[in-house]
Structure 1
């Protein structure tokens, strides 16, 4: 699952050279993703094949940053109506990153930013499957389905990797490996 999680982290980050490289090398990555989860791989590959790199940043901003946006920050889903608890959740998630002494992008991003959470999960998955399961179950599984629904409702191409994300997070949270 590690490569799938890392790939999804790149896909849900603001479009960059990493995404361009992923699109260019998709045929190399494809069999590796299939080895982890064939259904998730098919959704990711369809996204990479359909993505227009010339318009990727514009589409990304339109769906994730402009109203009606589909947030990629866990706290917007996990704390609906409890906004006063955001700081506590941010510290809690960041403590997971620090406990594993992982070099995470948390200094540049809010800890509940989906790509940062996926990077953490990718790094922890092989090393400590129980910690990965607990993290996925508590911080990702409760809301990634809602994100996928929002993206599908808005007819976003990102609904494809969001469906893959839900599938992978569910497998990890339920303790089912590749």
Structure 2
């Protein structure tokens, strides 16, 4: 059941505040063994340790970005179009994001995938970003790799074109915009 994996992963990839810890037993029960090793590891780290790791991993490492359009689009105008298209897709499905949420934030995308019939397709369209994030989390030996690995296992295999994109972006990073910058 992909929906259960996606919904649980949406919660597990959110910032580990008090609500995170309060709902962890419910998530653990619903998810069963989908994230082997993750929950014992984060319990061992404790609230402060996990919060520090979360910030260090997702806020301070450019390669561990939870905003999936960043991988293919970088901080360019093209990313703006990608964000607008995602937002329009959500709106078309009857979803309205909160003002402070970006539509490519992985926990938002996972929750949408879990609850909307078109969500799995939207998530699959961003498999290159998922693959790059997973590789970065593995490089840094982050326990979050266990959550992302379970998500990756729910998505279709990479096409040859997607594998090429992963390789290109892993080597060169996301695109940068140079319009208006002098040489």
Does the pair score TM above 0.5? yes
Give yes or no for contact 1:62–1:69 (8 Å, CA) kept in 2. no
Give yes or no for contact 2:103–2:109 (8 Å, CA) kept in 1. yes
Unpaired segments ≥5 residues, structure 1? 35-40, 172-178
Change in 2 beyond 3 A, CA 1:68/1:108: closer
Deviates more, 1:162-171 or 1:145-154: 162-171
**How far is 1:98 from its partner?**
0.5
| Residue matched to 1:97 | 90
Q: Are 2:106 and 1:114 aligned?
A: yes
> Radius of gyration: which is bigger?
2
> Equivalences for 1:1-178 in 2 at 5 Å?
1-25=2-26, 28-31=29-32, 41=34, 44-51=35-42, 52-54=45-47, 55-67=49-61, 69-80=63-74, 83-105=76-98, 107-124=99-116, 128=117, 131-138=118-125, 140-170=126-156
C-alpha separation in 1, matches of 2:146 and 2:92: 32
**How far is 1:93 from its partner?**
0.5
C-alpha separation in 2, matches of 1:120 and 1:21: 22
C-alpha separation in 1, matches of 2:119 and 2:37: 27
Offset from partner CA, 1:57-89 (integer Å, 9 cap, x none): 111000001135511111211214x72212111
Change in 2 beyond 3 A, CA 1:18/1:29: farther
Give yes or no for contact 2:64–2:133 (8 Å, CA) kept in 1. yes
Change in 2 beyond 3 A, CA 1:26/1:113: closer
Q: CA RMSD in A?
A: 2.1
Change in 2 beyond 3 A, CA 1:12/1:57: same
- Give the number of aligned pairs: 153
Greater helix fraction, Structure 1 or Structure 2 = 1
C-alpha separation in 1, matches of 2:8 and 2:27: 10
Q: Describe the SS at the equivalent of 1:19.
A: helix
Offset from partner CA, 1:75-133 (integer Å, 9 cap, x none): 211214x722121111100011101112544x221111111111111111xxx3xx234
